[in-house]
Chain A
Amino acid sequence: MANEAELQAGLQGESLTVEQAIVNLQGEDLGLRVYAAWWLGRFRVNAPQAIEILIAALDDEDDRTDAGGYPLRRNAARALGKLGDRRAVPALIHALECSDFYVREAAAQSLEMLQDSACVPRLIELLNNQVPGTLPAPEPPQLEQPFDAILEALGTLGATEAIPHIQPFLNHFVPRTQFAALRAMYQLSPNPEIAAEYGDRLVQALSSQDLQLRRTVLADLGAIGYLAAAKPIAETLAENSLKLISLKGVLETQLVETPLPNLSEGAIQVMHLMDELL
């Protein structure tokens, strides 16, 4: 999601071209560099040259916030996940050691998107806060590590060896982190009945009093595509737009199990629910 600065830059830079973005990314103007990194990811510019420059930007030292953060590294890490080029994997694994919490978070998310298990050992170390030089999030609740992103990545990457490291997070004091752990355990449990227990705990969280938490759970349920959640998703109190995205995830999981043009009972049930939310 774009922040306000990015959006403003977006309005000014609407005529940015691929060539110009690549030039800007290597230029003197730090604002333009940060924006160019975001832009290349946003418009999925996976030209080889763009990948190389973005990888180089993960080592940037010029662009620092007062608190010591690395804005350009953050955007470069986010962009590399969207561009789908696995050459970025070693550099992103290295970025998991960055002192900036948000660079580590972006790197973990991008490694999840790139679907490369090479990062699993490092992610487990990070989950256990065993990577020297990393600093906690600068704002409350000042978590040591971007646990949500790490847990989600481990789940998506099918890292069953991480299960014992994930379990303690099922009772983490931050609800979002609990959800991320539940989501990962759902994905990593080979036994469907046990997986369903984790899925059902996520469904229960749809009745949370807090809208922001309900939104988070909608995203988690869509990501794992838990069919039994379809009706509760449609009925929870949240924006239709978010429910539709969540149900899309459930529908697409059904399509993996029963490829088109065949449609499973489950897929049809989900589409019925989606039709009502339009």
Chain B
Amino acid sequence: MSDSLSSLIQAVDAADSAYALLKAVQNLAAAKLEGAIPTLVASLSYNNPGAAVAAVEGLIELGEPAVAPLLEQLDGHNYTARAWAIRALAGIGDPRGLVTLLGVATADFSLSVRRAAAKGLGTMKWHWFPENLLEIAQEEALEALIFVARQDEEWVVRYSAIVGLQALAQAIAQTYPDWRSQILAQFEQIAEQDESDAVRARACWAQQQVQNAVPAPKVEDQPSPLSASDWQMILDKLYDRKGQERLVLAEGDPRRYRGLALSLSQNDENL
């Protein structure tokens, strides 16, 4: 371990105030060292939103090597840490996060987690998928994003799903022109019907960009680091998912009100 890495990690461990912790995590994240990953992942569970934001940004920057530790974090019981880990996974776009993001975007109770997952579903590193899995993965993402863009009760989550759909439309424009048309038709409808002006505006803009074939932001050209067993696991999870019916609550269902009450209690979440 290099001197600078160990002293940066030590500073995180030694932080004795919320502000000191924030500064220490920011410094550690800014160093962009792979050895920092376990400490960055751990700091997602310190209940310090500023530190968590810095850690998420650092982990996204480090990318693929952070994916396995983040997936382990998802198994934990700390909900806040889990939410931050999902945000990091969404930002990295690694295929191993796909099934998690599909579930979260459509059903998580925290709107800021759904929001992050929806954008992440559109900006997966699609070029890392093997061809036989790519079609299934993109179709699942398409279906989930259309569902969220039309049905989520929070404007910002629908907005985010449109951003995701736009990225997806740009990624599949050559390979699946019929999906592209389907996405455009959704934009058209949302632009006319959504109750939020901001969402309608984003749909208009997405429509224009996809129609004018504004190229999607360039992706880095790294080769896929995933192994055959990773792919098998992703595929298994996808099939499991296919087998489950999505729980869609009807208007007036009392559980919806529980969700609303919960979302009120989330007003102070710092995501």
Contact = CB atoms under 8 A, between A and B. Distances in A.
Contacts of B50: 237
Interface in A18-48: 42
A14 B254 contact: yes
B200 interface: yes
A278 to B, nearest CB: 4
Contact of B205 (A42, A239, A271): A271
How would you classify the secondary structure of chain A's contact residues: helix, strand, loop or mixed?
helix
A93 B271 CA distance: 39
A271 B155 contact: no
A251 B49 CA distance: 27
A158 interface: no
A16 B256 CA distance: 12
A200 interface: no
B258 interface: yes
A214 to B, nearest CB: 13
B134 interface: no
Interface string A249-270: 0011001000011010001100
Interface stretch (A59-67, A97-105, A240-248): A240-248
B205 A240 contact: no
Contacts of A241: 111-112, 156, 269, 271
A11 B191 CA distance: 35
A10 interface: yes
Contacts of A15: 254, 257
A239 B269 CA distance: 8
Nearest to A244: B156
A10 B261 contact: yes
B247 interface: no
A260 B202 CA distance: 10
B115 interface: yes
Which of A42, A245, A248, A255 has the largest count of B CB atoms less than 10 A from its CB? Answer: A248
Nearest to A2: B264
Nearest to B163: A275
B119 interface: yes
B53 to A, nearest CB: 8
How would you classify the secondary structure of chain B's contact residues: helix, strand, loop or mixed?
helix
Nearest to A239: B270
A127 interface: no
A7 B270 contact: no
B160 interface: yes
B116 interface: yes
A97 to B, nearest CB: 31
Contacts of A42: 260
B201 interface: yes
Nearest to B196: A248
B204 interface: yes
A244 B271 CA distance: 11
Contacts of A240: 112, 271
A274 interface: yes
A5 interface: no
Contacts of B160: 278
A244 B112 CA distance: 11
Given A1-B264, A244-B156, A278-B116, A263 B201 contact: yes
Contacts of B255: 14
A7 B261 contact: yes
Interface in B4-28: none
A239 B50 CA distance: 9
A11 B260 CA distance: 10
A240 B197 CA distance: 20
A245 B254 CA distance: 27
Interface of A: 1-2, 7, 10-11, 14-16, 42, 237, 239-241, 244-245, 248, 251-252, 255, 260-261, 263, 267-268, 271, 274-275, 278
22 contacts: A1-B264, A7-B261, A10-B261, A14-B255, A14-B258, A15-B254, A239-B49, A240-B112, A241-B111, A244-B156, A248-B155, A251-B198, A251-B201, A252-B197, A260-B191, A260-B200, A261-B204, A263-B208, A268-B205, A278-B118, A278-B119, A278-B160
